[in-house]
Amino acid sequence: MHSAPVTAAVSPSIVTPASTGLADNGYGGSWYTVDFAVPVSNLNDDPNVVKAINWYMTDQFVQSTANAGSIYGISFGICLILFVYVLLLTPWSKMRRQFFVLYILALVSEMVRSLVDTIRVGKIGMSPYSAYLSLTGDVGSTKWSTGYINLSITKQAAAILSYIFTIACLWTQAYSLLRHIRHNHSRLYWAIMGVLTGGSLATLAFDFMYAYSQIRRLQGYPTRLNFNTITSGTWMGLALSFALWSLVSLGSVIHLIYTRIRFGVRANRASQFSLALLVLVLLDSFLVPITLCLLGLIPNRFDITKATSLVTPAVLALLPITFLFTTAHRTEMSRGREADDGDGHGADADNVNNEANSDNGSTICERCINCTCRSTETNSDSTVLQELNPLPRARELRHRENPFRDQVRDPVDQELADIDAMPSQRTSQASEDLLMGHVPDEQVLQQRARRVMRSLVSSNITPRSSQTNLA
């Protein structure tokens, strides 16, 4: 914002510009940028000091206040729409899961913060953007009322709670997306989660210091903390924290592409699929909230700090999209449990930890899966689909395969390829299910083949490998 110099007190006088001109709608004209003196309460402990301002500066203040009210209202509207969307369109069985509970708490906290900001802007005496402070910069001699301080404390507390619940949602999402790394590379997994959690905790510490220093300034107590340094550190920490969490979602998109190439999954509309992946990459990269955080690092924050109020709502708006990658495979697993009547094929050990409270222990541990796989009965006059024991060595060898040169497929992959080649529309659902999620190991892929074969037999459709034992 343009800041006019402070001059000594002068006697009131009328200054006529050299050229006269009328203002259009109150803006412009020859008087628009002519400075006039206004008294300042106690700037530099000198009551006779005045501040030179002009009409252009007052219009800037009005514009900034209007922008602040609009942005705070948009922030509240985004959170309210997301809150209604989650309550009305999310099944009750999912509402009890940890992610959705934390997500609703984050939305409520952010709505409280946005609502407080929206009300403060339109109420004289409670707005942080008064004309006197904005035009004169006389912060040192300004006294703040108890109601204003209480509203500021409420806002800071709601902002901190909103950030905590948002980070908890991101942590839950990362825990689900990184389960493959957790099984095969536990040290790498804990290193990644340690960096993500440490960065978020450091940012949370800056948030606490920022709120503490701001409240102490309003109460008139000086602090040893440099407020500008804390503000810059808070915005930088937010940008780096969200950037690190977004890498997890980006990794899930890359893993999806790699899985499609590895298992030879082909789509009829490759251009649309590529465009969808590009959009997902842009959304999962958190470009909008990270950009808003970086705007807070600009020294002149008179107008930019209002835009930074959209950081957390932008992250909350993107979370349901990024969480689709954590639920796509889980949906496949639940379908497998329903089709197999609880035989345990395809269940994941992580679902035992994640959904034991919400699903009443309906998942089965991986040890039961291995036992069921080994107990499969075979007939002497039938061609048996080879059972693959998911030993750690077998998994390691599959991870080392070259997806571009390896032309040899195991029997399960060959069975799925034969099913996809059938002209029946009913059998094409197998390939569609395979497109939506990644295949974590041989057991899940084998379970899918059995489920499809059972549906073919129940529909009187004879598959190519008609002698396959479906037990």
pLDDT tens figures, 287-320: 778 777 777 777 655 555 567 788 888 888 888 7
pLDDT tens figures, 193-238: 899 899 899 999 998 998 888 888 888 787 777 877 888 888 888 8
pLDDT at position 232, please? 83
pLDDT tens figures, 10-42: 454 445 555 556 567 777 777 788 888 887 776
Long-range contacts of 300-309 (CB under 8 A, 24+ apart): 300/1, 301/231, 302/1, 302/64, 302/134, 303/1, 303/64, 303/67, 306/64, 306/67, 306/68, 306/71, 306/72, 307/71, 308/235, 309/71, 309/72, 309/75, 309/114, 309/117
Above 50 in pLDDT, residue 253?
yes
pLDDT at position 164, please? 93
Question: Which of 1-5, 75-79, 322-326 has maximum average pLDDT?
Answer: 75-79
pLDDT at position 106, please? 92
**Percent with pLDDT over 90 in the chain:** 8
pLDDT at position 42, please? 60
pLDDT at position 107, please? 93
Distance (Å, whole) CA 63 – CA 302: 11
Q: What is the mean pLDDT of the chain?
A: 69
Q: How confident is the model at residue 331 (pLDDT cuts 50, 70, 90)?
A: very low
Above 50 in pLDDT, residue 174?
yes
CA distances to 24, 35, 196, 254 from 32, in Å: 11, 9, 52, 57
Q: Say which residue, 64 or 460, is predicted with more confidence.
A: 64
Q: Side chain identity at 46, as an amino acid letter?
A: D
CA distances to 72, 105, 177, 204, 241 from 198, in Å: 30, 22, 19, 10, 9
Above 80 in pLDDT, residue 127?
no
Q: How confident is the model at residue 435 (pLDDT cuts 50, 70, 90)?
A: very low
Domains of the chain, start order: 54-322 (1.20.1070)
Q: Say which residue, 160 or 18, is predicted with more confidence.
A: 160
Q: Which two tokens stand for residue 279?
A: 């959009």
pLDDT at position 445, please? 63
Above 90 in pLDDT, residue 345?
no
Contacts of 442 (CB under 8 A, 6+ apart): 388, 390, 394, 398, 410, 412
Distance (Å, whole) CA 47 – CA 122: 30
Q: How confident is the model at residue 271 (pLDDT cuts 50, 70, 90)?
A: low
pLDDT at position 104, please? 92
